[in-house]
Structure 1
Amino acid sequence: MIVLRILGFVFIFTYFSLSAGEEHQCSRYHYEEQILSKVVRLEHRHELLEDKVTSTTGLSPVGSICNEKQACCPDGWITFQGSCYLFQRTNADFVSAELLCVEYNAHLVRIESEIENTFLKNHLKDLKEAHYWIGLTDVEKEGTFKWYGYDVGPSFTDWNNGQPDNAGGVQNCGVFNYGMAFKWDDASCAAKFKSVCEKKAD
């Protein structure tokens, strides 16, 4: 596993070195977003490799989200940085989507960092085009978005330009909008979309 980590760092260093001359060709934001996306993909691949090592050898590698009893994420869930994610294919309104997550002892995803957000967006791009609910709503107070069932607002946001805009006065729930490259958008909570559930690894 140490070798994998070293190779990962070498790849990132090499990429930075080779890309330095190309930075002037694109905006700084776009360049940084590309780098972050590659780092996230490498980290996710590293976790997948660790999971494979664990399942074939029965050993728990350093940094694995599995504990000594090999308690990991359930089948069908994707692991990343100690959390489990389920990409629900069932279309449901916001509250129903949350209840679907609760059935798995989870909740609609609460995004806490740019790297987590980038990981989720990268995965969504590989799925069929659709909007996906996130657990963000301002239903209690217009303009003040909080995580549903959790009296705390987001420390990181990725709203698309001009969003949230509460179009028609009825958009109170957050969604990954595929038409906006999966940046955040507000939508009517009654709309029916797919969703992303999240829970901590056991």
Structure 2
Amino acid sequence: MTILQILIIIGLSGLLQSCCPDGWRKGKNSCYFISPRTVSWAEASSICQSFHSELAVINDAEENVLIGKIITNIRGALATNLWIDGSDRMIEGEWYWASTMERFGYKNWAINEPNDQKELEDCLEMYVIGFYWNDNKCDILNHFICEKEYVSFNFSG
């Protein structure tokens, strides 16, 4: 039996519906990778792109909660907050998702954020506790969250 035949049988039996790469966690429509490394925002973005993904874009409260649950399961392994895809580098105070250039629809800012402290905070991080958002200096070292669409298999036609 060939691998293709095995995949078809598994797919037809309903056992194989969607798949995330090893080390990634499945969300509603995406796979998420929480990096154990700490790097700058720009390096985090480059690393995600090397995985054929982007820093996470959080579209709504449901997705923010889902990512929060993923973080909660590994919180002890994280020493810092996490970079996500937002930035206001182009125009101060106008936050957008860097990978799509779309302005934020949903926002989950912490109290008194964004504050652009000392006019140096242009990149978006998510707090490990509470999962609120904060603007921070792009060159500090944080963990990060990559996001990619999950592979879906539909053999039913």
Tell me the TM-score normalized by structure 2. 0.82
- Give distance in 2, aligned partners of 1:157 and 1:189: 19
> Of the candidates 60, 68, 75, which is equivalent to residue 14 of structure 2?
60
Please state how far the C-alpha of 1:182 moved relative to its aligned partner: 2.1
1:108 aligns to what? 55
> What SS does structure 2 have at the residue aligned with 1:118?
helix
Q: Structure 2 matches for 1:4-153, cutoff 5 A? A: 58=10, 59-60=13-14, 65-66=17-18, 72-126=19-73, 127-128=75-76, 129=78, 130-153=80-103
- Larger helix percent: 1
Unaligned runs of 5+ in 1: 1-54, 67-71
Q: Is the 8 A contact 1:65 1:82 kept in 2?
A: no
After TM superposition, what 4+ stretches of structure 1 lie above 6 angstroms from structure 2? none
- Give distance in 2, aligned partners of 1:119 and 1:111: 10
- Which of the pair has more CA radius of gyration? 1
Q: Is the 8 A contact 2:54 2:99 kept in 1?
A: no
Please state how far the C-alpha of 1:122 moved relative to its aligned partner: 1.9
Q: Aligned residue pairs: how many?
A: 139
Q: Deviation per CA, 1:94-128, whole angstroms, max 9, x where unpaired?
A: 01000110111000000011111001112212322
Please state how far the C-alpha of 1:65 moved relative to its aligned partner: 4.8
Please state how far the C-alpha of 1:60 moved relative to its aligned partner: 2.4
- Give distance in 2, aligned partners of 1:113 and 1:119: 10
CA-atom RMSD, angstroms? Answer: 1.8
Identity across matched positions, percent:
22
